[in-house]
Chains A and B, each alone.
Chain A
Amino acid sequence: MHSNEYHLTPNYPYAPNLPGHPNKQSYPGGSMPPLQLAHAYVPWQHMGNIFSPAEGLARGTIFPELLSPYSVPKRGESNG
């Protein structure tokens, strides 16, 4: 019943840079169970490219895909 249609991370490449695990499943034990209404989920992150330790410290994360720098809104713009 674990249809790929309900896979939590359908477009996320499988652990692209994890040596020895080119086709590692996106969920530890296989595919994720079907998504259910009234539940919250976050897409699984996979080990991939990482920043150097110095760059990771400067940016606040070693994961490029988690980096989301804040830009101060211009005057008059909504803060969202």
Chain B
Amino acid sequence: MWVYQKKLEYPVRVSGPNPKLAKVIITQYGGPDGELSASLRYLNQRYSMPTDKAKGLLTDIGTEEMAHMEIVATIFYKLTRGVSPEQMQAAGLGGHYAQHNHALFWSDPNGVPWIASYVQATGDPITDLTEDMAAEQKARSTYEHLIQLSDDPCVTDVLRFLREREVVHFQRFGEALNDVQNYLSCKKVF
């Protein structure tokens, strides 16, 4: 169960409409290493974790990734608000406009829709936590690419916040991996 707060984890301001920037940022919404992949991966893997601590961590981080999905959605929405179909087309969002108007949709910048095969759940906690650590690094890299592509300092500020969260999550997943490895090796001995 979740408790909902009617505010974003980090406030989103944009300098003005910018459909070109929106087009690339959508990757963190519905791309392979985006926030939807992250949140669903963690919230699904938690059931097969061997310790309550690991289950709790996956729930916490999966929940935060949902909050990040909300932030990325807000950025895209604000960057395309009031943008005409012609301007959407000129920015490479003609396909998006044709299918979704100004609505949000989980796709990557090339229009490829999100698919469940972006994520895995093997039931092996070592394997799954290692995937989660890789996922945090992939998200960090993607945010760095987006920071390089961003020409809006307000958006860049939010991207920097989200990137730093991935760094923190990597540390936490690493600690969970230490813990689970130790738990499993103790189980073998006794």
Residues of B within 8 A of A41 (CB): 174, 177-178, 181
B110 to chain A, nearest CB (A): 21
Give the number of A-B contacts (CB < 8 Å): 59
Provide the bound-state CA to CA distance between A58 and B162, in Å.
11
Interface size (A, Cβ < 8 Å)? 23
Q: How large is the interface on B (under 10, 10 to 19, 20 to 34, 35 or more residues)?
A: 20 to 34
If over half of B's interface residues share one DSSP class (helix, strand or loop), that class is named, otherwise mixed; here it is: helix
Residues of B within 8 A of A8 (CB): 178
Residues of A within 8 A of B174 (CB): 40-42
Provide the bound-state CA to CA distance between A42 and B185, in Å.
17
> Given B148, B165, B181, which contacts A72 in the complex, CB threshold below 8 Å?
B148
B155 to chain A, nearest CB (A): 14
Residue pairs across A and B with Cβ atoms less than 8 A apart, 12 shown, are A39-B181, A40-B174, A41-B178, A41-B181, A42-B173, A44-B178, A60-B160, A60-B168, A66-B167, A69-B160, A70-B144, A70-B160
Residues of A within 8 A of B124 (CB): none
